[in-house]
Amino acid sequence: MTKTYDLGAEKVRALRDVTFDIARGELVAVMGASGSGKSTLANLLGALDTPTSGRLEIDGREISGMSSDALARLRSEEIGFVFQQFNLLPRMTALENVMLPLLYSSRGRAGGAEIARERLEQVGLGHRLDHKPTQLSGGQQQRVAIARALINDPPIVIADEPTGALDTRTSYEVMDLLGGLHARGLTVVLITHEPDIAAYAERVLRFRDGALVEDLRQRPRCAVDSGVAQ
Ligand code: ADP
Ligand code: MG
């Protein structure tokens, strides 16, 4: 895939001819300096954007030529997205934030509040359902965001610098959660520039100036190594 942003006078080649596969159930870290194309890649893998040229298949489906409706459906059913800045709605409670994607889901599930409550319990926030984002710590806000990403049971989670706004200890808590999703069989793509965080992955894709420069398999750090999983 290649992704070029067209700014009129200038074209930014954010991704240059990158080729790779991610297998179902992998936990892959995407590393690289600021500006190397990581978020651009996250947006493509999350079907938030389409490549300028080349092909992208998600679960065997070619997404490059999909209509925006079809892309929205694919995102809603297959992909949970986690952002560095949490992206929670400030006026809504934790429970309401987690329920939000159900509004756009083609399934429009009944019993949404019950499912949202379960998801919040899964991330250890069963006692914070009615708190607004400002009443939660950064780590708790990110856990709400992870619960929201999981509301439709997606097989794929894409996290773009999920620990970038968190302190070290809280970062490990969030990584233990993401590692737990991987252990349950989800495919997790973790964008990070922190080696400590990439250590959780079994594979690291490294980008430089929009090019894929390294594809490394490694022995992942075990979730309990951080000492906060218990
Ligand atoms: P990273 O997440 O690794 O910091 P990005 O994917 O955000 O990198 O950016 C890669 C390059 O593309 C940078 O040069 C950035 O300035 C540029 N870029 C990113 N998004 C846009 C956009 N929407 N329009 C124009 N240029 C962009
Ligand atoms: Mg980025």
Q: Does some domain include residue 101? A: no
What's the whole-number average pLDDT of the chain?
93
Residue nearest to atom 15 of ligand 1 (CA): 35
Residue nearest to atom 23 of ligand 1 (CA): 5
Q: Does some domain include residue 131? A: no
Question: What are the backbone dihedrals phi and psi of residue 164, each rounded to the nearest 5 degrees, phi first?
Answer: -65, -25
pLDDT digits (tens, 9 = 90+) for 42-78: 999 999 999 999 999 998 899 988 999 999 999 999 9
Whole-prediction pTM: 0.93
Q: What is the predicted pLDDT for the residue at 108?
A: 59
Binned at pLDDT 50, 70 and 90, residue 229 comes out as: very low
- Domain tally for the chain? 1
Q: What is the predicted pLDDT for the residue at 109?
A: 63
Give the C-alpha separation, 56 to 177, whole Å.
28
Q: Does some domain include residue 105? A: no
Is residue 220 pLDDT above 70, yes or no? yes
Residue 181 CB–ligand 1 contact under 6 Å: no
* Interval between CA 162 and ligand 1 midpoint (Å): 18
Do the beta carbons of residue 129 and residue 97 sit within 8 Å? no
Give the C-alpha separation, 125 to 104, whole Å.
24
**Ligand closest in space to the Cα of 84:** 2
Residue nearest to atom 5 of ligand 1 (CA): 37
Domain with 174 in it:
3-89+152-226
